[in-house]
């Protein structure tokens, strides 16, 4: 069993490589939830995620013979970068197998850190199976991203950080993919204070740990589908599962749609970029049925490519009614476009895009379709613009704004 001395040893060791990620008190999320919410920004680590902790500690415990064989692992990205950096710091060759769906940013950063990258499979589990085959074939030492108590101990040093800053913490929210982070954080938290509640958070499209806890044994999800790629795991760790069973108090599942507005909230209110898996604990705040508690949300990582960032911003603005699209019909004659634009301008709407379709009807004098995408301040302002268009004699129809640009 993992003991306090194990975590203390890991904590001292990882200080050689981790950056201090001090808790951030969030007035915005505190006001939203009625709790004192603190963010633990592990997205600010050197590799952009907490994974450097477990990787560095694990490699430090390997024998010289194990290191000489070279390391191999499988990862959706963050563990890959952690192993790559930790191996480079300790002079060990590393090979990383990553799913083909891994964001390009994570692939390139892993290569830049000196590791050899092999892309294989659509999800982590397929990449892992291939990595194990290569380990058997070439004699590499396999460093599991989560199903390893030593790795989990390194990840659990996050809980030590939290307690040093906030010893009176009531709840810790921790993302779950395979369960390594949840194992380390929950085990150490309970060792330090058994009254602490540690809640795991999984994407609903990859809730393998929740299913396993309900079944009382490790089970696999038939299918994984989530934008939280860092937690897109089909089967949780078998070795660490008993720790999760004993120390995790509950699991909250989060739909992908809930992550999108959280991205905007974190970016706008804290100027902080978090990847979708890192946003799980932010989305879970509204599911936590408590008040006046000290709650820490672990932001596990912030590695996201620019295309994904742009997509999240766009979809988040649409979900918040800060960008919306309407269509109106008007006669095809001079001045009509100006008239519509004037109505929108008077209500402080900002037009982003116009589409003028003259061919929607044979009778161009009475049925030219104008599709308008515009910015608003939110739902109340959107409704004000719609009301103004109706008052001006138009019949605006809300369109599904899947794409703005």
Catalytic residues: 51, 300
* Residue matched to tokens 């408590």: 290
Quote the Cα angle for 103-98-76, to 5°.
Answer: 60
Structure tokens at 2: 């993992």
Quote the Cα angle for 348-353-355, to 5°.
Answer: 120
Element spanning 247, H or E: helix 241-247
Q: Cβ neighbours of residue 179 under 8 Å, at least 6 residues apart?
A: 146, 147, 200, 209, 236, 237, 240, 241, 244
Radius of gyration, CA atoms only, the chain: 25
Structure tokens at 179: 């369960």
C-alpha distances in angstroms, 23 versus 144, 286, 298? Answer: 28, 20, 9
Structure tokens at 119: 């892309």
User: Alpha-carbon distance 8 to 283, whole Å?
Assistant: 31
Regarding beta strands 323-330 and 397-399, do their DSSP bridges make them parallel or antiparallel, or are they unpaired?
antiparallel
C-alpha distances in angstroms, 390 versus 58, 358, 367, 395, 401? Answer: 65, 21, 17, 6, 20
SS3 116: strand
CA dihedral for 231, 178, 115, 42, sign (positive or negative): positive
Q: End-to-end CA distance of the chain: give it in Å, rounded.
A: 55
């Amino acid at each position: 069993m993992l003991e306090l001395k194990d975590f203390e040893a890991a904590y001292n060791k990882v200080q050689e490589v981790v950056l201090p990620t001090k808790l951030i008190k969030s007035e915005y999320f505190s006001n939203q939830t009625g709790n004192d919410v603190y963010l633990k920004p592990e997205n600010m680590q050197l590799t952009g995620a907490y994974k450097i902790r477990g990787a560095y500690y694990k490699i430090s415990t390997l024998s010289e013979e194990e290191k000489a064989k070279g390391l191999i692992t499988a990862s959706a990205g963050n563990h890959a970068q952690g192993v790559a950096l930790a191996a480079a710091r300790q002079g060990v060759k590393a090979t990383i197998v990553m799913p083909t769906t891994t964001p390009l940013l994570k692939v390139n950063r892993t290569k830049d850190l000196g590791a050899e990258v092999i892309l294989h499979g659509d999800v982590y589990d397929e990449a892992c199976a291939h990595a194990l085959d290569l380990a058997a074939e070439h004699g590499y030492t396999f460093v599991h991203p989560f199903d390893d108590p030593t790795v989990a101990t390194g990840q659990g040093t996050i809980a030590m950080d939290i307690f040093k800053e906030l010893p009176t913490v009531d709840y810790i929210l921790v993302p779950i993919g395979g369960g390594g982070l949840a194992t380390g954080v929950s085990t150490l938290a309970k060792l330090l204070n058994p009254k602490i509640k540690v809640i795991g958070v999984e994407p609903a499209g990859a809730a393998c740990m929740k299913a396993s806890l309900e079944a009382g044994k490790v089970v696999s999800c038939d299918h994984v589908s989530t934008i939280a790629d860092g937690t897109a795991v089909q089967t949780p760790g078998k070795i660490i599962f008993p720790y999760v069973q004993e120390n995790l108090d509950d699991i909250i599942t989060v739909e992908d749609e809930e992550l999108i507005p959280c991205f905007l909230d974190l970016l706008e209110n804290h100027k902080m970029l978090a990847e979708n898996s890192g946003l799980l604990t932010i989305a879970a705040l509204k599911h936590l049925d408590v008040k006046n508690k000290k709650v820490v949300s672990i932001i596990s990582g912030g590695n996201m490519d620019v295309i994904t960032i742009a997509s999240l911003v766009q979809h988040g603005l649409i979900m918040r009614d800060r960008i919306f699209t309407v269509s109106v019909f008007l006669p095809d004659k001079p001045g009509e476009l100006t008239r519509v634009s004037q109505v929108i301008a008077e209500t402080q709407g900002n037009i982003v895009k116009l589409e003028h379709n003259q061919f929607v009807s044979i009778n161009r004098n009475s049925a030219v379709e104008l599709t308008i995408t515009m910015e608003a301040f939110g739902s109340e302002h959107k409704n004000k613009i719609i009301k103004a268009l109706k008052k001006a004699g138009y019949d605006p129809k809300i369109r599904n704004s899947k794409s703005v640009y």
